[in-house]
Structure 1
Amino acid sequence: MPSSGARIESFDALRGLAACSVVIGHFLLVLRGAENPPYAGWHDAVLAYFGHTPLSILWSGHAAVVLFFVLSGFVLQLMLEGGRLTYGAYAAKRILRLYLPYIVAVGLGVAGQQWLYGGDLAGLGDWINKFWTDDPGPRAMLGHLTVIGAFDSSTYDFAIWTLVHEMRISLLFPLVFLMIRRLRWWTVLGGFGLASVVMAGLRIAVFSGHDELAGFARDGGYTAYVFTVHYLLAFAIGGVLADRRESLAAIYAGLPARTRALLLALGLTLYVYGPRAMEVTGTHEMIVGDWLLMPGAALLLIAAAYEPALARGLARAPLRYLGRISYSLYLFHPLVLLAMLHAGHTHIGLGWLLALAFVASFVVADLAQRCIERPAIGIARAAGRALASLWRHTGTAGTGLPARA
């Protein structure tokens, strides 16, 4: 079994590569519906020639999001394993670590909308032109500030919808942790899998005319509560992988090299083609597409953790760097893209503008990681320690989560 440090490094590298695929996917979407020659048709041409090949992993942004969620479940399970954290200390550490960079990004998005938005981007399609169009109102700002409600999260930063689910599920995850500790792993995954099936049924029912379910299943778009329940399954998969990591390492080490290679190939196949394969069900509902994607992501994590050659490759310095800036890259690249498009689309050719925005996204991510994310991590850790110390001194240290059932 690889050392803990090597395993975390390989997971960080996967997170960095996944963040890059989200960025590439969003930059490609800018070209969807573009009318300006020579860029008209580029989006469709790329998808026509490469969309059904393994190269599509480079811009499979939604698959990357599912991988993020499985990874988060793994990390949270490890965080709670020691049994030393009270719920308050855990919640403070997790939410502050996510929320502080998030709220800075929202604030910058509001500023960008106010200062840079000058109307539609002429010659570009509907996707990129639907952002920054609404002035900030009390309801929208309240939704962004509290995160709990279902709201249009794409108004100022179109990537933050995943963070809404991340923060909601982080608050609920101690219950998932206890279930994983006290129940058989297949019971846990079966229960959350059944919940996901029910959520898919609700979504399909709403879009079939059952508007009485809209408040839970449709309102808020990607932040609808139905998706939070669904993505509990991804977090639970990650939690089970963390809880069973020693037995998984032993099983994996005993497999022939050919079998391990086949498992990696299966993981990549499910990750790239799983959602398309589920279209045979006759529905394009995102939840249904995730059902093969999630086990694909799990197999990729297993290979990254326990396949020595792959783990060594993922532990290289450039990939570790991408892992370090991955959260900031994910969070701030929409702001860089929108700002540069609105500020420069009448002065700079689209190709050059996108190239500059792509490079600038990584520069901004590096600065944000140093100046925003790193201090947020320090504040989160300090808050967790302060709360833990407070509970110890008030005689409630025993309220921590148990390490074993």
Structure 2
Amino acid sequence: MRIGSLDSLRGIAALIVVASHMRLMFPETPAWIKYSPLRVLIAGESAVTVFFILSGLVLYLALTSRDGGSYWSFAAKRFLRIYPPFCVAILISAALWYLVNPAGPMLDVGNWANEYSWHLRPIWSVVLAHLAMTDVQAWQSLDNVMWSLVIELRLSLIFPVIAVAVKRDWRVAMALGALISAACFYIERSFSPDWLFNPFQTGKYLYLFVVGAVLAENSSQIIKVSQALSGRARLGLWCAALIPFSVNPIHFGGIPTAVGSALLVALSFADVKVRDALTASVPLWLGKISYSLYLIHVPILIAAAHLLNTTIPMIYIVALAAIIALCASEIFYRTVERPSINFGRTMAERLLPRRRLVPA
């Protein structure tokens, strides 16, 4: 099941991530952004929180629909939706590294560009380490947004358990999800296990997927409540969502940010006027290319910065990189992402007899 307004919300969230990385190319955030409502436009980490909640909602709807199949068909479809495009993006980033051949750290740029991107030469062992999707930060430098894809894929593959729990009693599932995430956060922060595959790093975000599933389970009631509210009340809810959303998440995935993100997701499918606006052609296009844009914008941005940093001002570099990234995302979607989606659907059809994982 696809909900157009939520696809568009994912596209807008991806654009916010791009804007946040453009901002990180500069040493400081301008005061007119940092201390104004415009800071919502660079809340990249908060946008990732929206991604996780949206995934929980959409996966729950898929599993509880009439088309819900076996676990292996679900897992194959999800794996092929995420992993092959990710692999291609890593290889593109490695190829760009060799084409650009960065000489070293760039001058007069933000720390993010030098410390978290392209600081390892992408020899085969480094590329393979990236493709293994570990939790080692150094092995995420070719495309540092991949940290969220590691979490996304892992939690997606265990999501049927979450869906069954929410279907049985969403209140108990919400409490258990929060408890598990809190425990994972405490263990990771207190003991900092230096593992290649760290379940606590992943587990601390589990509650966001549960939140998404709970929103899906109660979607009809949420829509009824929204329809009964006055325009002023809905405007107040949007403000109540955007204010905590604009705050950078800290600890435990950012509880205030999670609340704001959950409200944004709920309002995006429950507020009729906003839902209609989100199903316009441009937001829907952004939603269509959102995963491709998320995957390839960092390599393009870093490559442009290394090539042009001493030639033109950074403001022009990031603007040019953003335009290239949007165009390249459409190409990437058509040539990589869409074929991967279609292949996933084909494999899902072939794997095991269809049987509902989650009862209706």
TM-score, normalised to structure 1, is: 0.82
Aligned residue in 1 for 2:23:
28
C-alpha separation in 1, matches of 2:307 and 2:161: 46
Specify which of 9, 12, 32 is matched with residue 14 of structure 1: 9
Q: Deviations over 1:234-290 (max 9, x none)?
A: 111001111121222223323344333322221122212474xxxxxxxxxx33461
C-alpha separation in 1, matches of 2:132 and 2:333: 23
> In 1, are the aligned partners of 2:77 and 2:345 still within 8 Å (CA)?
yes
C-alpha separation in 1, matches of 2:151 and 2:253: 18
Q: Deviations over 1:194-215 (max 9, x none)?
A: 222223323442xxxxxxx322
Alignment CA distance shift 1:122-1:52 (3 Å): closer
Aligned residue in 2 for 1:66:
49
Pairing 1:117-132 to 2, within 5 Å after superposition: 117-130=102-115, 131-132=117-118
Specify which of 87, 95, 102 is matched with residue 103 of structure 1: 87
Asked whether 1:225 is paired with 2:199, we answer: yes
Consecutive unaligned residues in structure 1, runs of 5 or more:
33-42, 206-212, 276-285
> In 2, are the aligned partners of 1:196 and 1:287 still within 8 Å (CA)?
no
> In 2, are the aligned partners of 1:274 and 1:289 still within 8 Å (CA)?
no
Specify which of 360, 364, 368 is matched with residue 332 of structure 2: 368
Consecutive unaligned residues in structure 2, runs of 5 or more:
none
Q: Deviations over 1:329-349 (max 9, x none)?
A: 111000111111222323333
Pairing 1:2-401 to 2, within 5 Å after superposition: 8-32=3-27, 43-44=28-29, 46=30, 48-82=31-65, 84-116=68-100, 117-130=102-115, 131-136=117-122, 140-147=126-133, 149-152=134-137, 153-182=139-168, 184-205=169-190, 213-215=191-193, 224-273=198-247, 275=249, 286-288=250-252, 290-387=254-351, 391-392=352-353, 397-398=354-355, 400-401=356-357
Alignment CA distance shift 1:250-1:123 (3 Å): closer
CA shift, 1:219, in A, is 5.1
Q: Deviations over 1:316-364 (max 9, x none)?
A: 1111111111111111000111111222323333332222112111111
CA shift, 1:227, in A, is 3.0
CA shift, 1:55, in A, is 1.1
Say which is worse superposed, 340-349 or 323-332, in terms of deviation: 340-349
CA shift, 1:122, in A, is 3.0
Equivalent AA in structure 2 for residue 348 of structure 1? I
> In 2, are the aligned partners of 1:179 and 1:188 still within 8 Å (CA)?
yes
> In 1, are the aligned partners of 2:188 and 2:201 still within 8 Å (CA)?
no
TM-score, normalised to structure 2, is: 0.92
> In 2, are the aligned partners of 1:113 and 1:133 still within 8 Å (CA)?
no
Equivalent AA in structure 1 for residue 357 of structure 2? L
C-alpha separation in 1, matches of 2:217 and 2:288: 24
CA shift, 1:139, in A, is 5.7
C-alpha separation in 2, matches of 1:30 and 1:91: 37
What RMSD, in angstroms, separates the aligned Cα atoms of the two structures?
A: 2.1
> In 2, are the aligned partners of 1:271 and 1:294 still within 8 Å (CA)?
yes
Percent identical pairs in the alignment equals 31
Q: How many residues align?
A: 356
| 1:31 match: secondary structure | coil
C-alpha separation in 2, matches of 1:227 and 1:261: 36
Equivalent AA in structure 2 for residue 265 of structure 1? C
